[in-house]
Structures are given as structure tokens and as C-alpha cells.
Amino acid sequence: MTIDAFIDALPKVELHVHLVGSASVPTVLELSRRHPGSGVPTSEEELRAFYTFTDFPHFARVYQAVNALVREPEDVATLVLGLARDLSAQNARYAELQVTPYAHAIMGMPMREVTEALDLAATASREDHGVEMAYIFDIPGEYGEEAARITLDHALNEPPASLVGFGLGGIEQKRPPFRDAFRDAFAAARTAGLHSVPHGGEMSGPETIWEVIEGLGAERIGHGINCLDDERLVAHLRETQLPLDVCPTSNVCTGQVGRIEDHPLPRLLAEGLYVTLNSDDPPMFATTLSQEYKVAHALGLNAKNLTQLARNSVNASYMAKDTKQTLLAEINALPTP
């Protein structure tokens, strides 16, 4: 078996992927044609050029433009099912999809209708594509207290059936201080039984990772790649085995890492840290979850290492215990080349 065939056959779990960012080119074209005049290209060639980013703020502007296409609950369901279709083709069985309720609220979508769309799409994802879909509600950090309040309100009062986590994303440098609405929102979400899965250390330094650990009770961290700049933080992450959801291609495309060859994934593993492998916003970065495993192999990881990353994702997920055991057994049964 070649390494590519092994990766294709490896059962996978996606723990860090965003609803809007998961929209494949055909899905975005469907939405842009459904909602003309949005400024998002309606031809494939122009859309692929639209997805060429100069830095993270540029990526954020493009992301917001695509997000503005999501105007109705039907659009939300279209995105979820598009992701399920794409993941199924990669032998991915489960995903924790990051949804931003604030973005839907400012488009005028009622919470109940968004939740109904998410619930219906989760059912269809499982029945039509064999992909179990769970949700994480995330706060776009740069929008501050209002975004935190709306996200928490939706999570507590109109949650989808498979809501498992509460997150924080957006441009890290533009987040307000953590001693206010974010801490309060995460405390309330954790009290309600949701897991804390904020972004940290993607485009800022170790201080942001410490903030999400100490201020938000992080149980898993989105990205976290800049932890390597702080030896004390590395030691803490090694001791606690707090998972880092790492997305190599994303980090290069948004300018956080200069070249894929320089990505810190191998060093994170060499330091004994707990890493999962993910795609973040795959069509926007011209990647897939399977491709991220191929990138990891190109960075020097062998089939045994890739198998362990697949196990890590299962164990770090919030899927049911019996489902974890079944999936782990399937991963362990796959012979390595």
C-alpha cells in the first residue's frame, strides 16, 4: 500500500473546521448565484483567485464576504451538507463544526430557524453521508461583548441537539480583554455542560494561549502553534496533554508560517505535545483533511505517526465513548505501509 492509499483508507475525524470556511467552490458558487450582487465571484476561475490571500486580515475580509452569502436557514443547511459530502469522500466519520451564531443573527436569521437547519442537516449528514456532525458555537472575538452575549444566548436557549462546545475565534489581536464578557460567557457555557475550545496562539504569542487556559478554562486549543516561544508553556502543555488542533496549510495561507517546510508540526510532536490534525477552512486554502495528512507525511511523519494523529483526534473529540472505541478499533486494524 502506498502512503497516499494508506491516508485515503485511514478513518478520520475533523475537529477544527468552520461552517463558512468549509464551503467548497461548488457550494460557494451555488450561494453566490442564489444571492447575486454580493461581491463574491460567480465563476470558478474568479472565485479561486478570490481565495488567494495576502495576510490574515485579507483572509478575514474574504471570509466575511462569503459569510454574507449565508442569509437564510436553507443556506446554513447547504453548507453543513456540503461539508458532510466532502468529508465522506475522505473516509472521515465525525466532525465538530464551528458555527458562528453572531454572523447569522446580524443577517436577521432567528435562532430557532438556525437551530432547526443545523439539526436537520446533522440528521441528513449521518443518514446520507455517514458523517456524524457535532457543533461548536464560537464567538468572533473582535466583535466583543455583543457577540459573546448573542453566542451564549443561542447556546443556552436554542441549542442544536448535537452542540458540544463553546469557542472563540476571529482576529486575536483585536479581542477585548479577557476579564470581561468572554470569561463570563465561557463560565456560563461550561456550567451548562459545554466544552471550552477557544482559538489561541495562531496569530499572536504564548500570552494568548495562557489567557484561554487560565481565563476560559480551555479543554482543547485551536492552533496553539506559537506555544513554542514559551518553554514554561510547552512544559505545561506536555504535562497536561491539552490538545492542540493544528492546521498546517491554513497557517501558511494566512501568513502565520512562511513556508510549509517551516511548519512547527514536527517540533510540536518532538516536544511530546498532544496534537490533532485539521483543515480549518479547506476550500479557501485549497486543501482537504486528507491533504493535511499528506502534508504531515511530507514534513517527515511516517504512517505510524499519522495513525497516532488519527487516534489523537478520536480521543480528543466529544463523540460518544462507544463510538470512539469502534472507530479506534478500525484505525488500529488498518495495516501500515
Among 130, 199, 120, 124, which residue's Cα sits nearest to residue 167?
Answer: 199
Q: Exposed, middle or buried: residue 233 (CB in 10 Å: 0-12, 13-18, 19+)?
A: buried
Tally of CB atoms within 10 A around 39: 10
DSSP state, 280?
B
Tally of CB atoms within 10 A around 5: 10
Which residue is it, cell 517546510? 261
Q: Mind giving me the DSSP string for 102-153?
A: HHHHHTT--HHHHHHHHHHHHHHHHHHH--EEEEEEEEEGGGHHHHHHHHHH
The distance from CA 193 to its chain's CA centroid, rounded to whole angstroms, is 20
Does residue 202 have an active-site annotation?
A: yes
Give dist(CA 282, CA 56) in Å, integer. 15
Contacts of 23 (CB under 8 A, 6+ apart): 31, 66, 79, 82, 83, 283
- Among the listed residues 14, 72, 172, 202, the single catalytic one is 202
Asked if 188 contacts 155 with a C-beta cutoff of 8 angstroms, the reply is: no
The residues carrying an active-site annotation are 202
